[in-house]
Amino acid sequence: MPLTPNSIYQDLKKKYLDYDSALELLITLIENTDNVYTRLESIKILEQIQAKDDKIFKLLENLLISDSSEVIRNMAASLIQKFFLERALKPMKWALEHEKTIICLVTIISTLSKINNMKSKLILVEKLNYFYNQENKYNLKDIFRNNKIEGLNIQVLADILINYYFIKSLKAKFGFVNYKFNNLGYITKLDLTNVDPQGIFISNFLDLISYLKHLEELDLRFNNLIKLSEISNESDTIISLDLSYNKLITIPESINKLKSLKSLSLKSNRLRHLPESLSNLVSLQTLNLRNNMLTRIPKSIMSLKNLKSLNLHGNKLNSIEFKLNNSIIELELGWNNFLEIPSNIKSLTLLERLGVSGNKLKKIPKWISLFQPLKVLDLYDNKINKLPSSIGNLTSLEILVLRNNHLSQLPESLKYLKNLKKLNLSWNNFSFLPEWIGQLSLLEELNLWGNQLESLPKSIRSLSNLRILDLSFNRFEQLPSFLKEFERKTDLIIKFS
């Protein structure tokens, strides 16, 4: 049987090995094996059995100072912090001067702050003073102008230094990085759009953001991310995370550790399902899942009591199997496989925007009138041949898009939509418009492109707010004379071809 860290641990538990022998075997694996995973597991076993001997301290000190693997160096620093904090000053001071990787530097600086004495504080002050005297001051300029740095407490000093190293590291790796920081030098916004075409570095970045304790917005779009690492530490500051335009197939369950998240965009990935832990993001208000490969909505969404905007456009949904929370005011279901508007959205009595374009709808249900606050209704690119008269009860409606359907007439109740500003009836089968169209007194844009109209009712002249009238690709021989006069007297733009 091959010698592995786990086999050593099991033999120790079963008392086939004594403590000292197990220790020697683990040290042998750490010092003589090339496999990083085996070495890392061996160090984790040392942590598990709480090895606090002087021999172990010297081993960890040596690993921190000289090992070629940043993962091993970081693990060594973590164990020194955990088991040998009273002896950590000297190796951490040395490591701070020579370490280059951000993951290790974060652990080193964190350890110095936990030592929390005058010597460790002086190390941090000296390092900050050194960087302030360099050409690239980044987040330090305002801090030194507004504060006597020696008067700041050690945790603040550590956080400022960690933020400086983050900027320094990202600029060294990617060149230009867009960021914002506050007057204390803490990064609040970080834009890493399209900086890592292979998605290698960024895939592990989420696990580091908990150290940016004031970061609120993180943008990771266009980085070809295939997967994300698990998030090991909680963050209670991130309120916006954008992972759009990557190649993610799954989202880690640990996404719920971003417990203050209000906006999560996963637009244009390859997601087939979502983690159940999503239900723990109780502050979430905006969830953008546009253009993925979802075939069902996870019930975890039911727990998002503060959700206001849910975008499911461009997936493979054909039903919604449960009632959505009535907190939602914007719902986008366009370009899925719905044969009808799902009845489980009836409960959304606060809905202000509904998109159901690009499905296979033939009719609109009478209960559409339940959405009294509705302002925008997108129904384009379906097969709708008739509208219910109840649509006239949507008296808050401002935009109605019916482009590319099979409509040939409108219900008279539409004249009650007194707040309607934009009406798009293009690419349907209209051969006439009713006289009452002139009662839509706030209408600003009327799009009739691609119908079979030969004439228009003169009541259109009553639309005093009309600014755009598109009549292209109809059957007019010439523009009606009353429209020419109407156009001349107003700011109306008529499109006619």
Domain-ending residue, one of 174, 209, 232? 174
Domain-ending residue, one of 278, 300, 316? 316
Residue 103 resides in a domain: yes
- The three-class DSSP label of residue 181 is strand
- Domain with 211 in it: 192-316
Residue 184 resides in a domain: no
The answer to whether residues 103 and 213 belong to one domain is: no
Residue 457 resides in a domain: no
List of residues 6+ apart from 194 with CB closer than 8 A: 221, 222, 223
Residue 151 resides in a domain: yes
pLDDT at 489: 85
The answer to whether residues 72 and 154 belong to one domain is: yes
The answer to whether residues 39 and 136 belong to one domain is: yes
The answer to whether residues 208 and 307 belong to one domain is: yes
Give, for 144, the enclosing helix (H) or strand (E). helix 141-146
The answer to whether residues 215 and 305 belong to one domain is: yes
The answer to whether residues 142 and 19 belong to one domain is: yes
> Which residue in this structure is represented by tokens 């909680």?
234
The answer to whether residues 303 and 260 belong to one domain is: yes
Write the CA distances from 274 to 171, 271, 330, integer angstroms: 33, 7, 20
pLDDT at 488: 87
CA distance 240 to 233: 17
Give the largest CA-CA distance in the chain. 103
Residue 54 resides in a domain: yes
The answer to whether residues 83 and 113 belong to one domain is: yes
pLDDT along the chain (497 residues), means of 10: 85 89 92 94 94 94 96 96 97 96 95 97 94 82 78 93 92 89 90 88 79 93 91 89 96 94 98 94 97 92 95 97 93 98 95 98 97 98 98 98 98 98 98 97 98 96 96 92 89 91
Residue 342 resides in a domain: no
Write the CA distances from 228 to 224, 243, 294, integer angstroms: 11, 10, 19
The answer to whether residues 115 and 152 belong to one domain is: yes
The answer to whether residues 157 and 106 belong to one domain is: yes
Domain-ending residue, one of 316, 336, 365? 316
Residue 106 resides in a domain: yes
CATH number, domain of 71, equals 1.25.10
CATH number, domain of 309, equals 3.80.10.10
pLDDT at 1: 53
Angle at 471 between CA 465 and CA 475, to 5 degrees: 145
The answer to whether residues 228 and 163 belong to one domain is: no
Give, for 409, the enclosing helix (H) or strand (E). none
Angle at 32 between CA 30 and CA 37, to 5 degrees: 50
Residue 96's nearest CA partner among 120, 69, 60 is: 120
The answer to whether residues 109 and 251 belong to one domain is: no
How many distinct structural domains can be found in the chain? 2
Residue 149 resides in a domain: yes
